[in-house]
Structure 1
Amino acid sequence: MKTAFHNEDTTMLGSIPQTRRLSTMLAASVLALACLAGAQPAQAALDATASTNDHNTNVPTGWWMYHGLTAAQVGSYASTNGARLTQVNVDSVVSGSPRFSVRMVRNAGSYSVPGWWWYYGLTFAQVGSYLSTNNARLIDMEPYDAGGGAIRYAVVMVSNTGTAARAWSYLSGVTQPQISTHLANSGHRMIDVDTYYVGATKYYSMVAVANTGADAKAWQWWINQSTAGVAAKVSAFNGRVVKMDRQKDGTYNVILTRNTGSDATAWWYRYGFTSGTDLINYANQVASRPVDINSYVDGLGIRRYDAAFIDTANASTRRMRSLHSSFLDSNGNPTIGIFESYLKQVGGTTKVDLNSRRRAETASALKSLHLLHSMRRVAAGTDTLPSSFVYYDYRSGTLTERKNACPDPSLETPANSRMDYNFETGLDQMMSISDNRTTRGSVIRYGGFAPFNATASLAGMTGTTLRHNIGCAYKNFSTGKIDPANRRNDTTAADLARIYEGVWDSSLLSNTNNARTEFLESANPAGSVAGTALQTIINEEATKLGKSATVASQFGQLIQRWGKGGSYNTCLPDSNGGCGQKVIVRSGTGIIRLPIKVSGVTSYRTYVFGRFISDVKTGCWEDTNTATIECPADTNYTAAYSKAANELYRDEIRLALMTW
């Protein structure tokens, strides 16, 4: 084991005395720098753990980003989440107390460290004192003006012991040439860089680690770059951004890591998010984790965020992400709409998790909640399926026109009342032909949306809120306007799947009074048939595995499915509440069972799923009943969704076929 030693000296920089602490490894090699380019070691690989820092680790983990927090709130969130801070930014100072933007990762698995600490309001000397007391090293250091030109530091440090021990260094109150000289002499690579001003004079702070062994990276750092300049440096280096420091003139200092070979990973960076929520939604949509966040106020006084992201998807989720490329703009950004895919083995692990907890509209797929609530009442003995059932017709016309109509409570008059179904038939119609009338009938029966939301809460559906009659999209009857802010039914792919897992494993629905059986009978059982699109995938995977066409056919005939789909053509509002942007929603949720062979005997693996596209901008809608009204955008997006819907199961189909 190599031995570390510490060396301290004090340097006068201008009129500001600063302490520089260096920690170097004995016999460490020194690598030269060219201009601002980092050293180019022969070894480069993604980090298996985040012991050094989390910039180059793409192992999936829980992560959080918060903004505008007090120090007490930072500590509370870290404790609640079982997390540790990996970055701290000072957004502002209010009455002497900073407000923070922070990144956290779950302090477990590949991201666990022996110990960690964060502090703020420190002088540079105090930073050194805490490092010595904790036997720690910095992973993030932010200088900020605490008021009156007094420079203080907010820092995150981790224990520098055991397997987390690293040779490392940090500087502050220095110039770019001084940093370059230090890096050349030490053989370290930077993991953090920031600028700050004392009067009109700009200074730099930085944190670095020894660029050797498992930490060896091909890297560069650049200062005073425009956004175009950053893009050019990234392209020329085949790199990815791991740190971006925005200066007050709008230019950037960046640290790049080579993104080739064993160090290659999918990654993204983007400027100017207008909220932390937008940043989080972006990260989840592309199944990534932010490795750096930059918080600042722009020239218009608007708080904005820049961020760099690293791919944290598993192989199946990554494949599903690629199948949704139609829903990205020309720059690869997920701005066209929302898409989610979720697949979980019942009683087992999650297989696909693509943005599965983003709240969005899913149209009739959410009718599974109405069915769950109704069957729980049946199981409890407070309702019965043979009992009479009241629903309403909201327009005249064909059955299709009537059952697809938006339920307007003002039309719920005695003349429009219908009692030709009992409750069981009403629920069957709700699920089998997606009847909006009988769905509304169940809401009337139980006195509004509150009981359904209570069931969702009990079921652990934390992203679900029913606030509108399904079939009415975003229409607000009280104002006559399109109003998604108040009339959107929110749910998530994971929440939709949760309904079916809870029914299948009986945790949400017992079979008392035959309730569980009746739920599954209403939930569109597909019988023992794969369907054409799914059978095509089965045939392809069987061929790859050297299985016969007979095996593929038998496999497909044994697949079992239940579920509910949904579809909307609706609008996002303009400034007057009119149709400002036409969008589509397509959704599906349910259960799929794949046959496996255990000692030659057929058994099953059972999975639950939720998937949808929501608020996808089209500009028009396809009219399948009128040949002259065509909308290629709608058709193409719907086709892309349908393809991805079946592809969700491909990897698990392959694994199941391997048992045959």
Structure 2
Amino acid sequence: MKTRFEQPRPTLLVAAIAAASACMMSHGTARAQEAADAMAVDGQALIQPESLDVNALTDDHSTNAPTAWWTYTNVTADQVGTYLNQNGARLTEIEVYSVTSGVPRFTVRMVKNSGAYAVPGWWWYYGLTAAQVTSYVNANNGRLIEVEPYDIGGGQIRFAVVMVSNTAGAARAWSYLMGVSSAQITDHINSSGHRLIDLDSYTEGGVKKYTAAFVANTGADAKSWQWWINQTPASIASKVSSFQGRIVKLERQSNGTYNFIQVKNTGSDNSAWWYQYGFASMTDLNNYGLQVASRPIDITTYVDGNGTRRYDAVFIDNANASTRRMRDLLGKTFLDANGNPTKGIFESYLKQVNGAVKVDLNSARRAETASSLKSLHLLHSMKQVELGLDTLNSAFTYYEYDADDGSNACPDPSKETTANRRTNYNFEMGLDEMMRISDNRTTRGTVLRYGGTFTPFNTTAANSGMTGTTLRHNIGCAYWNFTTGKYDPATRRNDTTAADLAHIYEGVWNQTLLTNKNSARSEFLESANPGTGAGSALQAIINDEAAKQGKSAIAAQFGSLIKSWGKGGSYGTCLPDSNGGCGQQVIVRSGTGLIQLPIKVNGVLSYRDYVFGRLISDTPVPCWEDYDTPGTNCQADVDYTNAYSNAANELYRDEIREALKTW
């Protein structure tokens, strides 16, 4: 059935932004009733193994099959509809962000309505009375998965809901309550044998009330679970730990306490999961989720006691096995002791050319990558050659900026004088040196060659489908702003992503971005550091995987046949303090390119082609290692760099294993 969404027509009005109203319930709490409520209410505990849901037909809280997901905040109903259609998605959560003149704006969470997350049908509504909720449930033969109460003004409570068709594979024994006390919820659980999947509180007429949605706690839906009300973050942590649980619903109340639902998260079917309080923006929330390859399964938004908008969220694993392995490997170094991504950005991406993505760890996050982005300069230059607008054997001009730093110098435009001009390379040699020794001087020379601005390169990136890429500074200068004499990443960071970098090489290899007209494609590959054979670290992985298959005898031959092209990058730079000085030293390490793994097809040698991008960016360090000087003078830099390098080769392990199976 085609996905559907509807809204009651009387509420479809355009609302102005109102930033002051807190989410989920009106301000003011009935203290007497709250004191009468049980401070903690245990759910039912089952004596049986736990299992994750294989699909999201019940709800999406315990499904960790990878899927596309989206979040939006402070949006109108019409905008929600647009995003749903645009993404081919369905709503799984709706929160009221604010209400103006009775009309709400929303924070929503949605998933791709396909695969494990497809349902027979679904609907969402807002502005409903309790009686209207019942009417729509009955009319649609629906089952509620989300009920959001909110005050439209003057103590008038309305509800926004999300429901799925309670038919076919999504049919469940279920129930819901609206406008009840916590004691009534307890009674219902005890009498029905159902478990909570959604819980929200609100105040009406000075009385604290709850909405709740349930499913029968039997069969595939059976879980050991608990629900608790009026809990502090400290008590939540304690209860999750003692129960070995995983939060599936987290609601913040106006007094700063929480109601939450948790399920058991033990045994072979448990899942990696995270929860976090106080994100400053939805962007921060999304970045957190993507960094640990997870999907938010519950979001609550509110205005804190300082008048600042905040977001809390619960996440579940959203990674395939290869991505999960890379996350766990990098996480040992680049996540903090609590499992949070506080040590900069890290990304890993591996895609078979014209095929599936094999590893996708935070691959769309914009980040500084240093010299890996010179692949864009090479692509743009070769496009001009392909079009007949430039030739490789023509004269080329670049400048000497600092004789001591040579090719590593930061290009300072004020030093582009006649005395510093160099014309000893033709254009082809300039590009070769840009890629071979990562020459910042000749990289700047390509910018000067095409007008002295970054606009042509950014146009090429945009036209090539590199949606996360923006060139802003001369590579070699990192975040330094010559005009202001300050570190200024806001205007000097070169943004790109692991996926965008890999996209260059896939487009060159399959000739969708660059053909061999005027030898443009072959010249790109010639400049892009072609290599044959596995290095020692990669060969060690080949040896390990070959031994596991009883094929050690062919490991050396396999490694010798590997082919690769690509470009790396490395920076030590600074994030600014309040005066634009070096507030925090950071390092950047990156690599991108193409790798061919040898396979046998009916006993004949062939290859599988993959493109990759990987990076760590803005990783904080107390000092920088001087890699030109023997010995170690900054162990933190060395440790992070080594961890990145080790993970760089591990990116290919699973595909090496599959390739070896063909021998």
Match of 2:520 in 1: 515
Match of 2:538 in 1: 534
What's the offset of the Cα at 1:445? 0.8
* In 2: Cα distance, 1:273 partner to 1:329 partner: 17
Q: Is the 8 A contact 1:387 1:422 kept in 2?
A: yes
What's the offset of the Cα at 1:162? 1.2
* In 2: Cα distance, 1:480 partner to 1:276 partner: 33
* In 1: Cα distance, 2:465 partner to 2:412 partner: 30
Size of the alignment, in residue pairs?
Answer: 622
Q: For structure 1, list consecutive stretches of 5 or more residues without a partner in the other structure.
A: 1-33
* In 1: Cα distance, 2:564 partner to 2:356 partner: 19
Q: Report the TM-score when normalising by structure 1.
A: 0.93
Matches within 5 A, 1:350-389: 350-389=357-396
The reply on whether 1:596 has 2:596 as its aligned counterpart is no
Q: Provide the secondary structure at the position in 2 that maps to 1:48.
A: coil
What's the offset of the Cα at 1:199? 4.4
* In 1: Cα distance, 2:572 partner to 2:269 partner: 43
* In 1: Cα distance, 2:157 partner to 2:633 partner: 63
* TM-superposition CA deviations, 1:558-591 (whole Å, max 9, x none): 0001000000000000011110000000000000
* In 2: Cα distance, 1:384 partner to 1:316 partner: 43
Match of 2:13 in 1: none
* Candidates 405, 409, 416, aligned match of 2:413: 409
* In 2: Cα distance, 1:477 partner to 1:140 partner: 53
The reply on whether 1:391 has 2:398 as its aligned counterpart is yes
What's the offset of the Cα at 1:501? 0.2
* Candidates 127, 131, 137, aligned match of 2:143: 137
What's the offset of the Cα at 1:40? 1.6
Match of 2:497 in 1: 492
> Which aligned runs of 4 or more in structure 1 are off by greater than 3 angstroms?
625-629
* TM-superposition CA deviations, 1:577-630 (whole Å, max 9, x none): 110000000000000100011111111000000000000001211112345771
* In 1: Cα distance, 2:395 partner to 2:45 partner: 78
* TM-superposition CA deviations, 1:389-447 (whole Å, max 9, x none): 111111122xxx11111111111111111111000000000000000010011011111
* In 2: Cα distance, 1:627 partner to 1:638 partner: 16
* In 2: Cα distance, 1:347 partner to 1:141 partner: 43
Q: Is the 8 A contact 1:611 1:645 kept in 2?
A: yes
Q: Is the 8 A contact 1:592 1:608 kept in 2?
A: yes
* Candidates 470, 485, 488, aligned match of 1:465: 470
* Candidates 469, 473, 479, aligned match of 1:474: 479
Percent identity over paired residues: 68
What's the offset of the Cα at 1:43? 5.0
Q: Is the 8 A contact 2:43 2:195 kept in 1?
A: no
* Candidates 435, 439, 459, aligned match of 1:435: 439
Match of 1:99 in 2: 105
Q: Is the 8 A contact 1:39 1:189 kept in 2?
A: no
Match of 1:625 in 2: 628
Q: Provide the secondary structure at the position in 1 that maps to 2:648.
A: helix
Match of 2:613 in 1: 610
* In 1: Cα distance, 2:194 partner to 2:615 partner: 47
* TM-superposition CA deviations, 1:502-552 (whole Å, max 9, x none): 0000000000011100000000001x210111011111111111112x300
* In 2: Cα distance, 1:86 partner to 1:487 partner: 39
For the aligned residues, what is the CA RMSD?
A: 1.2
Farther-moved stretch of structure 1 (409-418 vs 589-598)? 409-418
Q: Provide the secondary structure at the position in 2 that maps to 1:415.
A: coil
Match of 1:569 in 2: 572
Q: Is the 8 A contact 1:41 1:217 kept in 2?
A: no
* In 2: Cα distance, 1:287 partner to 1:511 partner: 38
* In 1: Cα distance, 2:606 partner to 2:61 partner: 43
* In 1: Cα distance, 2:60 partner to 2:608 partner: 36
Match of 1:24 in 2: none
Q: Is the 8 A contact 1:46 1:262 kept in 2?
A: no
Q: Provide the secondary structure at the position in 2 that maps to 1:624.
A: coil
Q: Provide the secondary structure at the position in 2 that maps to 1:64.
A: strand
The reply on whether 1:83 has 2:86 as its aligned counterpart is no
* In 2: Cα distance, 1:121 partner to 1:264 partner: 38
Match of 1:125 in 2: 131
Q: For structure 2, list consecutive stretches of 5 or more residues without a partner in the other structure.
A: 1-39
Match of 1:214 in 2: 220
* TM-superposition CA deviations, 1:27-64 (whole Å, max 9, x none): xxxxxxx9522342535311111111100110111100
* TM-superposition CA deviations, 1:196-230 (whole Å, max 9, x none): 11243211111111111111111111111111111
